[in-house]
Amino acid sequence: MPMIRLEMLPGRTAEQKRDFAREVTRLAVETLNCKPESVDVIITEIPKSHWAKGGVLPEE
């Protein structure tokens, strides 16, 4: 069972997330030779204030 995780900043629409889940599932099925229902896609939105880049958290 492939599990694909995407962590990103908030701001994408529900439609964009649906499109991503559909397309990454399609690619997993094609590449890994598995059934679509076996692919899990987990999208986690992380607030910018919780996302450090280069060891630095942004100012709130």
**Is 47 marked active-site?**
no
Average pLDDT over the chain, rounded to whole?
96
Interval 32-43 mean pLDDT = 98
pLDDT at 39 over 90: yes
Active-site pick, 2, 10, 36, 58: 2
Q: Are 12 and 46 in contact (CB under 8 A)?
A: no
DSSP E strand boundaries for the chain: 3-8, 40-45
Strand, coil or helix: 51: coil
